[in-house]
Structure 1
Amino acid sequence: MKKLSDNMRKLKKGELRTIKGGIAPIGCNSWDPRKRCCRAWDDEHINNPVCPEL
């Protein structure tokens, strides 16, 4: 069994998990994980913003 002090210790940067891209929102048909935005939406969510074109 872990001690409470194990849960309260300071984490090192190498121990932290990196979030890569996130989860695509509901209605997104084409998620860009690098830009973290939706390229295309389904018919029900068509008015939502899309990734900016560069």
Structure 2
Amino acid sequence: MRRVYVKLTKLDLERLQKLAEQHRRHPSVEAAVLLDEALRRHEQAERQRQEVPVCS
């Protein structure tokens, strides 16, 4: 299991609160969903970078 630490701004917290209210979830659940999506995009970008050969 990997630990990830994220620093959130006040604006980030307000956004999480609004999203949680829209989806009727707890803000921590909404944060976990958003973090999971961000990690998935990051890992996909890493794989794409590794697959593309660099021409010199």
TM-score range, shorter chain: under 0.3
Could you say which structure has the higher strand fraction? 1
TM-score by length of structure 2 reads 0.23
Larger Rg computed on CA atoms? 1
Tell which has more relative contact order, 1 or 2 (C-alpha 8 A, sep 6+): 1
Q: TM-score, normalised by structure 1?
A: 0.23
